[in-house]
Chain A
Amino acid sequence: MPDFNPTQYAVPLFVLAVLAEMIWARLRAPEAYEPKDTLVSLAFGLGSTVAGALLGGFALAVFLAAYEYRVFDFGPQWWAVWWAWPVCFVLDDLKYYWVHRAGHRIRWMWASHVNHHSSQHYNLSTALRQTWTGAFTFGFLFAVPLVLLGFHPAMIAICGGFNLIYQFWIHTEAIKRMPRWFEAVMNTPSHHRVHHATNPRYLDRNYAGVFIVWDKLFGTFEPEVDDEPIRYGIVKQLGSFNLLWAVFHEWIGMIADMWRAPWRHKLSYLLREPGWSHDGSRETSDMIRARWRARTGQAPLSTAMSVADRNRIADAGEAA
């Protein structure tokens, strides 16, 4: 069985790439970085690897137990079945799409994933702003179907590692657009800037990891509009560089909401989308977008795209 962790080998590359982007920022866009924000993001990255090493054992045990019930058997030398690797990679990316979508639409999952979105900056250091608390969610269960299909947990972990490495480079403002064919199929800096934006039109869009086709297939794709400045972060920006607050703030908020809520609403604060409240005092991303659309008369760009492309009537000029 191969003992190989691709992200481990990629760390020096990450450091060099952040350094290169800092030099680009110094020359072209000094505001792209903020030293305190960078420190918090990188500390998130380090803490995430430590938390993964300490808390990842339970998920591994579940996977190994599930593997005993696999439908297909690639044999004792499963790593030598070459075609299983690309199939596993694609299916793992499909799994990533759904676990990521759940990470934004279920508050329990969001409490963990919000860490990755809590910076108001979008640069390569933001890519390393990874959660410490993923083990306290049920995200790992999304991989169980792959294990039951017959993919060994180590194969899934290696594919997942390459998936994460791919996602590193798309966290940048230094690259505007990739070639058209690439933008059509792959996740790119442009597509992922949309994902990190708090502009109402962009909220909860572009969940893809490697292949943007999943968003197009499942109706969550939104293209980047060139003349609308993007704001990054979360709807209610933290306003603090306290690392521990950044790590745990949503867990604290969610548990406090559950504690205070009437009994019949407690589970909803755990399982419904972020921003949901039993008394309507807060707004979900869908509510914010609907209010913005009502105010500005903007149609969803993804559905209006063909018309806009044909006659260039659509005016996307107003900043949200």
Chain B
Amino acid sequence: MLLQTAGSLVAILALAGLAWWMKLGGTPQLADEEDVRRIAAEVDDGFVPLASATDREGRAALARDAQGRIMLIKRHGNRFAGRLLGPGARARADAGTLEVDCGEARFGRVVLALGDAQAWAEAIDRLDEVRHA
């Protein structure tokens, strides 16, 4: 059993290493608003962004819909994953970058290089005010 497990472990590491060596995967980018719209609809069916902001490197994005909901999208491997931000979300703008914490430790903090980082930080902080209003 132990030998078999060790053998399987070696095979696993070899296959994963091979996937890396063969350059499988790639790094997709969010190129424009249409990309953000498409991914946002995948994260939450029916979510239609009224406004969005995309990281300069295309790694992440923020989108706001007509109901004032804000969605955070990040690249995850060679796919994208997202979260609708709740009152627990936090944002910090600093010199053209925005760090967003959706409140889930395992989703991680997402850093976006944005032109209007401060405006988005304020919008995200207002989600908390809505809850306490």
Contact = CB atoms under 8 A, between A and B. Distances in A.
A231 interface: yes
Interface stretch (B18-26, B88-96, B123-131): B18-26
A291 interface: yes
Interface residues of A, number: 48
A45 B4 CA distance: 13
B15 interface: yes
Contacts of B8: 11, 45-46, 49
A239 B16 contact: no
B51 interface: no
Contact of A34 (B5, B12, B24): B24
Interface residues of B, number: 38
Given A42-B15, A121-B79, A33 B45 contact: no
Interface string B52-65: 00000000000000
B108 interface: yes
B106 A22 contact: no
Contacts of B12: 39, 42-43, 45-46
A242 B15 contact: no
Given A42-B16, A240-B107, A30 B79 contact: no
Nearest to B38: A319
A36 B77 contact: yes
A33 B1 CA distance: 29
Nearest to B18: A22
B78 A242 contact: no
B25 to A, nearest CB: 4
Interface string A259-270: 000000000000
Nearest to A236: B83
Interface in A82-124: 120-121
A34 B106 contact: no
A225 interface: no
B5 A46 contact: yes
A46 to B, nearest CB: 5
Contacts of A45: 8, 12
Contacts of A8: 4
Given A35-B25, A249-B106, A18 B45 contact: no
Interface of B: 1, 4-5, 8-9, 11-13, 15-20, 22-26, 28, 38, 41-43, 45-46, 74, 76-79, 81-83, 104, 106-108
The 4 A-B residue pairs with the shortest CB-CB distance in the complex, in nearest-first order? A239-B81, A39-B16, A33-B24, A42-B12
Interface of A: 8, 11, 15, 18-19, 22-23, 25-26, 30-39, 42-43, 45-46, 49-50, 53, 120-121, 125, 198, 200, 231, 233, 236-242, 245, 249, 288, 291-292, 295, 319-320
27 contacts: A8-B4, A11-B8, A18-B15, A19-B15, A25-B22, A30-B22, A30-B24, A30-B25, A31-B28, A31-B78, A32-B24, A35-B20, A35-B24, A36-B16, A38-B16, A39-B13, A39-B16, A45-B12, A50-B5, A120-B79, A231-B42, A239-B76, A239-B104, A240-B76, A242-B106, A245-B106, A292-B46
